[in-house]
Structure 1
Amino acid sequence: DNDKRGQNTVDGEFRKYQDQNISFSANGQWKLNRSWISNLEYQLGFTYGSQKNESSTYYSGTQQVTTYTAQAGEHAGVFLPPHYFSQLSVEGKPLSGDVSLTANHRKTMGENISNHFQLGLHAEVEGNRGKGISFDPLGPPLEMLRVRTRSYRDIPLLYKYSAFAENHFILRYGKMRTEVQAGVRFTQLPTKRLQRNSSVDPRINLSQIFIDRTDDVFLSRFSVRLGWGLMHKMPVLTYLYPDKSYTDMNCFTYNDAENNQRLTVMHTFITDRNFNSDLRLPVNQKFEIGVNFRIGGVTADVVWFKEHLKNGYCTSQLAEPFSYRRYSPLISKGEQPELTDEGVMNDGELLPYTLNTTFATYLSPQNGIKQEKQGIEYTIGPIHSKALRSSFYISGGYLDVCEKNTALSTLHPQIEVNGKAYPYVGIYETGPSVANTQIWQQLNSRFQCVTQIPRIGLITSLTLQAVWMDKQQRGMESRFNNPMYTDSNNQKCLNPVYYIDGEGNQHPFTPDMATDECFADLVIRANTTTAFLTDSYKPYFLLNLRVTKEIGRHVSVAFCANNLLQSNPKRYRQSIQKYAVVNPDLYYGAEISIRF
């Protein structure tokens, strides 16, 4: 991207993106036709990618000090130049593969009963062999200050094995039909990073078809279905193999430019507690009821569903105390300080210092998300128009989601007391947003018109997406009888549940501590008095277009334009007293497909 029109760009700045992928898949069937097995099916696939993002950014007036050591303790830091170009590279080489083998047994008993039993094995692998983030430590991007780079190759490949069984039973009687489909999947992660690395996911679907006719009648189909199942979610690689957390504190800085004598000393604290050995597999339970019918050649499908997620993944900020030296500064010119094993020396003497205690904060994966979701989805169509050579489809739904984060999180006030870091860390039922519950409600529709002109091999699809209702609201619910309250300035306040002292000990936080000057800074407040008001948007719309031209039997060219009318209306958010822009920006592109 060499666009020079940006007001803040200078010569030498650029951004470059590269993304290449190759994939292979194959499947087949071995027809055995035995009394105990009908056939064996196999499927295998592999995908490998090469992704590289490069950029050059100019920084001016930084004058900062930093360190990139991977060892704990005191080390000489780096003075950044006042003006420099920073070269950043992010290289990823993601790979994934899977293979499955399924045995099928089909049996028919007369004209009214049929059964299909499946038994299978499935294996997967995923990982990344790229170098990850890399840059020059002497000229780092400012967003990467004191960030330790880590090669993606250091993260082991993740393997997953599963076995499954499923049975599909069909019973016909008269004009009606009953279908029962039940199955179970057992999944195993061969890793010792989880206490429980296996899961069992059962499911069952019942379908009763009352009417299913092919002749031209007013009501040609009517059926009702029920479904229930469990699904566990596997953790991502960064949850299982997080990098260590590094915290750097400035101990001493001396910069005598006239005599070319300078020294900065940083204390690095390293912790590996960001790995959560108690991490469990989240499980989502889903129940649904659906109705399907066809009237006058138009099919309608309506389903009501309810889901309940337990132990969902999230990240929480934790804290650990540590102590470091803060040396007395040298003011005079011509000094020659040096870092030794004993500390910072000047003229053969150890500089005076004070021992400061602060806290290292780091992120750790937790099982804190509880989510309840319910809604209705519908699909109607196709509605044919011979005159327009078009088919019309209508779909949409209503969604109601309530999510709560039950994980405890820490917050260390970034203030000093008597020249030292604040001596306590609060443990809260929420993060800095002072909210642990969120509610979403949305009502939307999708109107699609597909027009086909076979004579010239042209297919157009015009889709209007409409959001009729969009509501969001945040809230706070306490499990420790620690409700939010309003102070004298009409601000929403929340006390911590516990606090941690400089020795790492945890203590309960009592209500009277909120007015104690030693602990009052641990009380967190909402940014505005309107933080918990409902954000309700007026309806907004989005128009997408896709045109496909068939060229012969094997080639097709397609053009797409999303948000064709560039509709990006602003909607006022009462909770933050600001406007938000809805809908994505105009996006267009083309693709060529070649089929053999």
Structure 2
Amino acid sequence: MVKTVLLFFVLLSTFSAAYSQYSVTGKVLNADKKTPVEFATIVTSDNNTWAITDYNGDFTIKLPAGENSMFISCLGYVKTPITVNIKNQSLSNQIFYIKENNLSLDEVVVTAQKKDEMATSYSIDRNALTHAQTKDISDLMSQLPGGQTSYESSATQEKYIVLRSDSRSEMDNPSFGTAIEVDGVRLTSNSNFSSSAIDGIDGVDIRNIAVNNIESVEIVTGLPSVENGDLTAGLMKIHTRKGKSPLEIEVSTKPNTKSYSATKGFDLGGKKGLINTSLEHTQSIKDRVSPYTTYTRNNLSLTYRNTFGPKSKPIDLTYGITGNLGGFNSENDPDRFVGTYEKQKDYAVRSNLNIKWLLNEPYLNGLDFTASVNYADKKSEEKKNEDSSASLSAKHSTDEGYFIAQDYDENPDAEIILIPPGKWYEIMYDDDKPVTYSANLKANWMQKKGEFINRIKAGGEVSFAGNYGKGIYYDDMRYAPDWREYRYDEQPFINTYSFYAEDKVIFPVFGNQMDIQAGIRSDITSIKGNEYGVVQGWSPRINAQYMLYANKSTLLKYAKVHAGWGDAVKLPSANILYPRPRYSDQLAFASVSDEAGTAYYAYYTVPITTVYNTDLMWQRRRKLEVGTDFRIGNTRVSLTAFRDKTFHPYRQAGNYVPIQYKLTNQSDLEECQIPLENQVYTIDQTTGIVTVSDATGSYESESLSYTDKNKFHQNYYYANGSSVTRKGLEWIVDFGKIKALKTSVRFDGSYYSYKGINEVIEEGMSTSANSSDGTPYKYVGFYVGNDAVSNGSETQKLRANVMITTHIPAIRMIVSCRFESCLYDYSRQLSEYSNGIRSYVLDDKDSYIPSSSSQGIYDGNNYVATYPEYYKSIHDMETEIPFLEKFLWAKENDPELYNDLSKLVKKSNRDYYFQPEKYSPYFAANLNVTKEIGDRLSLTFKATNFFNNTGIITNSKTGNEESLYMNGSGKIAKFYYGLSMRVKL
């Protein structure tokens, strides 16, 4: 595949030829006031050529002969398309007018718009953000086809973005594979160590991104350009305000969230450029009944922009810095135990520098350099109340051997700390300070020969991700349970070097335009001083679009098709690459408690070798999509079908390691002649022999007898799971505006199907402490996928929405009503194995043997058992023993073995476990109103689920009726309202 793409570039280069460029000079004016508009950007539709107006609104841009499509954009104005037709001569004194962005305009868009791109992508501008009263960027998911308003939850819960996925819990970590950028700064969790996610893998918590300063958002769900790497699910690009603007103050309130913000764009005068500044304070409470647990965001951003050099070869410089001080705090919650709390900082500093140099040379259009730093302080603190009527021990040993608990005041560095009986507070800190440094240099070329246009981009990117945190530690080490130091700042940085090249070719086919964009990206991961060494991956991608028909004078205005195919790779995180060291602590001795409840404990500690899985492959998603866009009259239709398959998803796995140690029981101590009150205990670190001495010296020391024990300890590491498949259909139908009613109707929806089954052999063991002979449990099962009844699941959902929008420019008001529905909601647990049978039907819930009728696990209501493929004994870890064969033999010949092996059998707890779970359709309706009062004041009112639908839906799996708000997450949003007020000064 790599050779094919490279050959494509070689063939295209044969068409490369210098082409003539002509100067176009002009002026951009305010359409109403006829005054110059400064710092307006004029950019060609391919984004390769651009110009910026000066303080008089003047600009100069070089363009090839022919028809050139461009856009004029400026903060506070409507993005305006223009066309310049050049007939082999330069043009001068061109005048273009742009309108201020307000509700008095004839056309105002408050929905996500599908972009005219080969890869499926959507744009959401400031009008849509304001009208939706967006509290955080997770709200934007409801703007996509089939998107639905999320269950109203406060910002006290972490928020993540998933694209073309239904749940964060799907097997390939969809939030981890969703990339988020703010002004070119990639927000990443690659260097995070603390995580609340399943298996420690999760995406970016987006709560600290302020929304008041966002100008527009671009969401790419298709296959993005190869200049975008380290992703699998999709990409969200956030663009903040840049330019001159009046002071805007906004106050927003919702039941759980209050927000206050101010933004202002300053003209520094002369040629000193512009500064845009923004300040936002947001506070969210967990529960209105007890509003004490809070999340706070205090966000400050500064952006400087200026243009240097001659107009024919300008340099556009943008520098931005954003800081956030905030976080989660439950310290003031009176419902918690006195003195206990949880806190977590959400501090962040993001800095970005972007320099664009438009060279306008025949073989080099321009250079684009971006550098960024993203630093976060996510230090958490938890204070818990603990109590015990007997003494406890805190294990801190990191060397192999036997250690006995010691009093902290006598030896604070002891491997085992004795915690006396009583009550105490335990304060734990998790100091997590991830940082990412990155830089990107990109060059653009354009060649034209007749109607053949060839646009090439090539570049390189470097990224260094690490952590400056201390890791987990405690306020008082005497109460630090099972703690071993693991400093995040001692783990090596993840260094990534990327190179990419992409060619976009435009040429006529049968009289209509064909666009083909093909590229390849190489990501090289280098981890200094680590077993992984250097890993390289390739990501070929190709998108194509063909205009089938275009004629503005007919009923069918246009029709085009597009398709995309290629790979996207997600790099592993620090949690995946550097699993925490594990230790086995086995109780080797416990003394008799004295009258105060104090007892001494000894443990045998074995450091388990940390597994750096050098066979780990980087997670890859192969994306395929096809679609069509057409317009009939005023109705625009967009249809896109996709099929994604994820290979080698990251997954936490475990293996069991046998250990042997000596155990001295209370019965061994009973034979000791030394009086209990005078007994002093020591243990030999190497042999594990416990010695009892007499504190008074009246008795000779005695060595106690012991019993040899064999036991398993589980170690964890990261590996790759089996592939995951998604497919779906998305559509948008915009019926256009009914001018007499000033109303437009939009119908959008999606069908989504997911299936994930893990067939990788993984180890599992019984939770039972002992085998039938009283020894520690001695068998390990090797299961297909995991040691659960199911090893996968499937989901299907059909969602459809209707949005009716009425815009009355005369009174500067927009009213929209969005009806959301889920017409089909299906899910099912799966147990499958391509090389055989994984699960079997049982005759009844108490049985462990497969039913003789051999019913399928999906047929009817049946209790089901899952068996390991084979098992191993602690006494022989080399021999794989087929489980089911031995299990059936043991039932007739070895009752003790049968009883032990039955503990490895995983059984369903309900007879309907594998039945499909379908819900009856459910609906909700949302109302939004935005009203401008003059040029200074505007109001937005929002009522979510304004019919207050609290209906009941039926679950086909259980036959029960359930609330739409079940399980704390809900199928639809609860009724709530919000109000925002904006004042321009």
Same topology, TM > 0.5? yes
Match of 1:375 among 694, 706, 728: 728
Letter in 2 for 1:252: F
* Structure 2 counterpart of 1:523: 905
* Structure 1 counterpart of 2:46: none
1:33 CA displacement: 2.2
Q: TM-score, length-normalised on structure 2?
A: 0.55
1:561 CA displacement: 7.1
Query: Taking structure 1 as reference, are residues 163 and 453 closer, same or farther at Cα in structure 2, changes over 3 Å only?
Result: farther
Residue by residue over 1:399-448, the C-alpha shift from the partner in whole angstroms, topping out at 9 and shown as x without a partner, is: 11111112222222123133321111111113242112311111112444
Residue by residue over 1:475-522, the C-alpha shift from the partner in whole angstroms, topping out at 9 and shown as x without a partner, is: 222355344223342532222222222243342224332242313332
Question: How many residues get paired?
Answer: 590
Q: Does 1:583 find its partner at 2:977?
A: no
* Structure 2 counterpart of 1:476: 831
1:260 CA displacement: 7.6
**8 A contact 2:331–2:343 mirrored in 1:** no
Kindly report which structure 2 residues correspond to 1:193-592, keeping only aligned pairs within 5 A, or say none: 193-194=531-532, 197-213=535-551, 215=552, 217-258=554-595, 262-329=599-666, 330=669, 333-341=676-684, 342=687, 343-347=689-693, 348-381=701-734, 383-386=736-739, 391-413=744-766, 414-417=768-771, 418-449=773-804, 463-490=818-845, 491-503=863-875, 504-515=877-888, 516=890, 517-518=896-897, 519-543=901-925, 580-581=966-967, 582-583=970-971
**8 A contact 2:920–2:955 mirrored in 1:** no
Give SS of 2:399's match.
coil
Letter in 2 for 1:59: E
* Structure 1 counterpart of 2:385: 58
* Structure 2 counterpart of 1:117: 456
Distance 2:383 2:601 in 1: 27
1:396 CA displacement: 2.0
**8 A contact 2:352–2:371 mirrored in 1:** yes
1:544 CA displacement: 5.4
Query: Taking structure 1 as reference, are residues 302 and 264 closer, same or farther at Cα in structure 2, changes over 3 Å only?
Result: same
* Percent of aligned pairs with the same amino acid: 24
Give SS of 1:262's match.
coil
Distance 1:425 1:562 in 2: 52
1:535 CA displacement: 0.9
1:188 CA displacement: 0.5
1:28 CA displacement: 2.8
Distance 1:534 1:461 in 2: 37
Residue by residue over 1:29-51, the C-alpha shift from the partner in whole angstroms, topping out at 9 and shown as x without a partner, is: 22222232121122222222222
1:454 CA displacement: 6.5
Give SS of 1:466's match.
strand
**8 A contact 1:559–1:590 mirrored in 2:** yes
Residue by residue over 1:311-353, the C-alpha shift from the partner in whole angstroms, topping out at 9 and shown as x without a partner, is: 2221222111111221121457425242233532113222211
1:384 CA displacement: 2.7
Distance 2:838 2:498 in 1: 45
Give SS of 2:648's match.
strand
Q: Does 1:11 find its partner at 2:317?
A: no
Query: Taking structure 1 as reference, are residues 24 and 453 closer, same or farther at Cα in structure 2, changes over 3 Å only?
Result: farther
* Structure 2 counterpart of 1:84: 424
Greater strand percent: which structure?
Answer: 1
1:180 CA displacement: 1.1
**8 A contact 1:245–1:274 mirrored in 2:** no
**8 A contact 1:206–1:227 mirrored in 2:** yes
Q: Which moved more, 1:19-28 or 1:227-236?
A: 19-28
Please, which runs of 5 or more residues in structure 1 have no aligned partner? Answer: none
**8 A contact 2:394–2:479 mirrored in 1:** no
Distance 1:584 1:156 in 2: 44
Q: Greater CA radius of gyration, 1 or 2?
A: 2
Letter in 1 for 2:915: L
Q: Does 1:106 find its partner at 2:459?
A: no
Give SS of 2:886's match.
helix
Q: Which moved more, 1:6-15 or 1:517-526?
A: 6-15
**8 A contact 1:316–1:408 mirrored in 2:** no
Give SS of 1:276's match.
coil
Distance 1:563 1:90 in 2: 39
Query: Taking structure 1 as reference, are residues 562 and 60 closer, same or farther at Cα in structure 2, changes over 3 Å only?
Result: farther
Highest relative contact order (Cα 8 Å, sep 6+), 1 or 2? Answer: 2
Give SS of 1:69's match.
coil
1:152 CA displacement: 2.5
Give SS of 1:419's match.
coil
Residue by residue over 1:113-154, the C-alpha shift from the partner in whole angstroms, topping out at 9 and shown as x without a partner, is: 2111111111223233223333344435xxxx5354533323
Give SS of 2:364's match.
coil
**8 A contact 1:480–1:497 mirrored in 2:** no
Query: Taking structure 1 as reference, are residues 566 and 319 closer, same or farther at Cα in structure 2, changes over 3 Å only?
Result: farther
Distance 2:379 2:556 in 1: 57
Distance 2:977 2:779 in 1: 53
Q: Which moved more, 1:463-472 or 1:257-266?
A: 257-266
**8 A contact 1:568–1:584 mirrored in 2:** no
Query: Taking structure 1 as reference, are residues 514 and 467 closer, same or farther at Cα in structure 2, changes over 3 Å only?
Result: same
* Structure 1 counterpart of 2:365: 38
**8 A contact 2:580–2:610 mirrored in 1:** no
Letter in 2 for 1:431: N
Letter in 2 for 1:44: A
Query: Taking structure 1 as reference, are residues 335 and 569 closer, same or farther at Cα in structure 2, changes over 3 Å only?
Result: farther
Distance 1:325 1:200 in 2: 52
1:555 CA displacement: 11
**8 A contact 1:62–1:82 mirrored in 2:** yes
Q: TM-score, length-normalised on structure 1?
A: 0.88
Letter in 2 for 1:134: Y
